[in-house]
Amino acid sequence: MRRAMIVLVVCGGLLAGAMAQATKAPGQEAPKASEAARAALGTGRDLVAALRGLQGPERKAALEQAAAAHDRIAEQFADQPAVAAAAAFTAAELWRQQGSLALAEQAYLRAAALDAPRFAQRGLLGAADMQRRQQRPADALATYQRAEAVEPGSARAQEARLWRGRVLQGTDRIDEAIAVFQFALECAEGPVQVVETANLLALAWIQQGDLGAAGRAIEHAERAVEAAAEDDQAIVERHRKAVAAMSARKALQRARDKRDGAARDAVRLEAELRQGGG
């Protein structure tokens, strides 16, 4: 429900922004949306607002109605890129909630193509998510890479890298996944990104069987948190708790216990064989 409410707020903001601006060249004033486009967007906002409080089949039907309406706005006002792109992106978010992943994917890609300055990266990222959820890993990998390339230093680019690593790991391309996670760790900015990325890298190393490398990834996160210059002690403690809660910690301990248990069993078996032979 929280995700749904966030989307409603975001969608409303996109539509309001589209009414005020369109794609523009540097130094040029943005053309204003036409009166017809403004009216259509207003109707779209009403449909989004009507979703509040709905549940179950009633909400699903209302989502479909609102998403289809925004698809029509995007088609009708394709000559006004800011309007069409905002409508397409809103449609994508609504289709995602409604569960129509293929339609959401198409709408995300439409938004990215219509207004690249505002929607290229987030549209591609959304489309890649839909491809991944449709079990199309090859398409998702390619689209995540495109999203990353739009603005490599952004938080969305880092998200794309991490998802690319997850997809590779999920398709047993573990060496490639580790390489992507290692690069993502080099790109990580701030303790939050470092902890998340180091956790994924450590889990990949555990899957690979290199427990030493996994431990070093966790230690890297610990050092990054302690080295962060934070004046707010509450933030520092929050980062420390995040490091302590890394899922890779328990996974590493289980892997070590399994390894050490196997070693003890081997020693015990060898001793029993020697006694039997004597």
Question: What is the CATH classification number for the domain harbouring 137?
Answer: 1.25.40.10
155 and 133, same structural domain?
A: yes
For the chain, the average pLDDT equals: 88
Contact 122, 88 (CB under 8 A): no
Q: To 10 degrees, the CA torsion angle through 111, 117, 118, 124?
A: 50
Phi and psi torsions of 232, nearest 5°: -85, 110
In a domain, 24, yes or no: no
Q: Please write the tens of the pLDDT for every residue from 202-253.
A: 999 999 999 999 999 999 999 999 998 777 888 989 999 999 999 999 999 9
Residues 230 and 199 in one domain: yes
In this structure, the answer to whether residues 181 and 196 fall within a common structural domain is no
Residue 9 has pLDDT above 90, yes or no: no
Q: Does residue 173 form part of some domain?
A: yes
Residue 170 lies in a domain: yes
Is residue 108 located within the same domain as residue 48?
yes
Number of domains in the chain: 3
Q: Tell whether 57 is covered by a domain.
A: no
Q: Give the end of a domain, one of 187, 208, 223.
A: 187
Last residue of one domain, picked from the residues 187, 204, 221: 187
Same domain, 204 and 229: yes
Verify that 152 and 134 share a domain, yes or no: yes
Does residue 102 fall inside a structural domain? yes
What confidence tens digit (pLDDT) does each residue in 86-143 have? 999 999 999 999 999 999 999 999 999 999 999 999 999 999 999 999 999 999 999 9
pLDDT at 1: 43
Tell whether 148 and 110 lie within a shared domain: no
* pTM of the shown model: 0.82
- The reply to whether 200 and 167 lie within a common domain is no
Note the pLDDT of residue 149: 97
- Position 131 in a domain: yes
- Identify the three-state secondary structure at position 59: helix
Question: Do 232 and 248 have their domain in common?
Answer: yes
Rg (CA), the chain: 24
Give the model's pLDDT for residue 99: 97
Q: Where do runs of H (alpha helix) occur along the chain?
A: 2-20, 35-49, 56-76, 81-98, 101-114, 116-133, 137-150, 155-170, 174-187, 190-208, 211-227, 233-244, 247-277
pLDDT of residue 86: 96
pLDDT at residue 32 in the model: 82
Confidence (pLDDT) at 5: 40
pLDDT of residue 7: 45
Residue 21 predicted with pLDDT over 50: no
In a domain, 23, yes or no: no
Instruction: Give the confidence band of 276 by pLDDT, cuts at 50, 70, 90.
Output: low
Q: What band does 260 get if pLDDT is binned at 50, 70 and 90?
A: confident
Q: Which residue range(s) make up the domain with 91?
A: 43-52+63-114
Looking at the structure, do residues 109 and 75 belong to the same domain, yes or no? yes
Give a yes or no: residue 179 inside a domain: yes
